[in-house]
A = this chain, B = another copy of it.
Amino acid sequence: MTQRVRVQNFGVSRDGIAAGEDQTLENPFGGDVDPGALFSWAGATASWPQRTDPGGSRGVEDYLTRDFAHGIGAEIMGRNKFGPQRGPWPEDGWRGWWGEEPPFRTPVVVLTHHERPPLTVGETTFHFLDAAPAQALARALDLADGQDVRIGGGVTTVREFLDADLVDEMHVAIAPVEYGSGLRLWERPEDLADRFELEKVTAASGVEHCFFWRR
């Protein structure tokens, strides 16, 4: 089996915005971008890993949340997905946003200009790498031990991997909100149709799910 490079369950607004400009500890997505609005479709499914109550929907969106970890051997994320710090790492004990059991449970490559030793939290080990997308991907493919690599975001990282033409497959969920300003994945999904097949499917939640795979 060939290893594939996948973007999964990535959330944007109708106007293509995935994050605000000014991320902080209190406002992880920055700006006016509300992760609750972008990801409520996922939180409503039975398979959402952070569910605290039983139940949840088992429609098409449940397939998307329960597939998240299948066949994935490593993730690549930008530094801003790991934490709100900038510049050299402070000695603040930061171990990511996710508490003592991050949902990745695989090696994760964190792109940063400030390398540091790997950090293991629960079943996830974060590797901090100062590298261009192709180099980071080579490392992640190796860490993934034959399985696929997820490009986990944020939006700047997804854009970098798309610009370097390193993405094989992508699922983006367009939530029924608009933000007007912020960090954009695209002007519109069709921007990518030169390189990718595109299927758009609307779920009962009102979210439009866009699936891309290489032509």
* Contact of A199 with B by CB under 8 A: yes
Oligomer copy total: 2
B58 engages A169 (CB within 8 Å): yes
* Contact of A138 with B by CB under 8 A: no
Query: Which of B58, B67, B199 is A59 in contact with, Cβ under 8 Å?
Result: B199
* A188-215 Cβ-contact flags toward B at 8 Å (1 or 0): 0000000001011111100001010100
* Contact of A184 with B by CB under 8 A: no
Query: Which of B46, B66, B201, B204 is A60 in contact with, Cβ under 8 Å?
Result: B201
Query: Which of B46, B60, B66, B211 is A58 in contact with, Cβ under 8 Å?
Result: B211
A60 engages B209 (CB within 8 Å): yes
Report Cα–Cα, A200/B58, bound state, in Å.
12
Q: How far is the CB of A23 from chain B (nearest CB, A)?
A: 31
A-B contact pairs, 27 of them (CB 8 A): A46-B213, A57-B197, A57-B199, A58-B169, A58-B197, A58-B211, A58-B213, A59-B197, A59-B199, A59-B201, A59-B211, A59-B213, A60-B60, A60-B199, A60-B201, A60-B209, A60-B211, A62-B211, A63-B63, A63-B64, A63-B67, A66-B70, A70-B70, A199-B204, A201-B202, A201-B203, A201-B204
